[in-house]
Structure 1
Amino acid sequence: MPSLTLAHDERLPGVTVITVSGELDATNRAQLDAYVKDLPAGRLVFDLSGVPFMDSSALHVLLMCDARCRREGGSVRLAAVQSLPARLFEITGVLAHVPVHGTVEDAVAAALGRAERSV
């Protein structure tokens, strides 16, 4: 299993893009949880283009992050989701609650209120 790598950068004022690479599962959910808790709640975009697999424990972390951001007036958006994580989002109903976009650029634009185009 490839190791998990996490990085972030601020794109335009107020939108932080978190780039995630590697499989997200119970073995590294604590790493993801600690990473996102260290970021200020706001408008977050998760670039999941490098995530071929995600289990429910990692999904739980993303949902808790979304809840924290919403409480503080922000939002979470997911971008560039591969097929297996997309299937997890579909069968769990996450798509009804967390916007998913085809590209990071679309997600950033939507977070800034410039577009609401989601996949």
Structure 2
Amino acid sequence: MPPLKLAHQRPRGVIVIAVNGEMDATNRAQLEAYVRELPVDLARGMVFDLSGVPFMDSSGLHVLLRCATDCLRNGGTVHLAGVQPLPARLFEITGVAAYVPVHDTVETAVAALTSAGHSL
């Protein structure tokens, strides 16, 4: 599987990580390393833009859940945005969507974090 294309930005002080490519066991470590190297304030939370992720297996899901758990322990939350149909089905089957906020767009995810008091 080709490596993921990863990028980040900070609209309104919220870190948004854009993920492009299929997320599975072959590139899980790449995403983990990328997130670990970013200067993230876990108390503020973060947004994962998954609009470029057509497929995700349990390995990718595990990375997102680990980030969500780390943020939660520090008072923040992880929000997901732009989730495509196959990953959305994975979130539905596993029940993740009940615990990790899912938004149609990055803009609505960022707005949800900033309105919750997690912005600068």
Common fold, TM-score beyond 0.5? yes
Q: Which residue of 1 aligns with 2:27?
A: 28
- Matched to 1:20, the amino acid is V
Give the aligned residue type for 2:95: G
Match of 2:4 in 1: 4
In the TM superposition, structure 1's runs of 4+ consecutive aligned residues that sit over 6 Å from their partners are none
Deviates more, 1:1-10 or 1:53-62: 1-10
Once the two structures are TM-superposed, the CA of residue 74 in structure 1 deviates from its matched residue by 1.3
Higher RCO structure (Cα 8 Å, ≥6 apart): 2
Q: Cα offset for 1:2?
A: 4.5
Match of 2:77 in 1: 75
Does the residue aligned with 2:10 lie in a helix, a strand or coil?
strand
Distance 1:88 1:108 in 2: 23
Structure 1 position 71, deviation (Å): 1.1
1:57 to 51, 56, 59: 59
Q: Give, in angstroms, the shift of residue 3 of structure 1.
A: 3.2
Per the alignment, residue 105 of structure 1 pairs with: 107
| Mapped partners of 1:75, 1:5: distance in 2 | 23
1:1-20 CA-to-partner distances (Å, cap 9, x unmatched) read 4431111111112x101000
More strand by share: 1
Alpha-carbon distance between aligned partners in 2 of 1:52 and 1:35, rounded to the nearest angstrom:
20
* C-alpha distance in 2 between matches for 1:75 and 1:87: 21
Give the match's secondary structure for 1:34: helix
TM-score (ref. length: structure 1): 0.90
The 10-residue stretch of structure 1 (42-51 or 86-95) with the greater mean CA deviation from structure 2: 42-51
Structure 2: state its 5+ residue gaps.
none
Q: Which has the higher helix share?
A: 2
Output the amino acid matched with 1:19: A
Identity among equivalent positions (%) equals: 66
Structure 2 counterpart of 1:62, one-letter code: L
Could you tell me the TM-score, scaled by structure 2's length? Answer: 0.89
State the Cα RMSD in Å.
Answer: 1.2
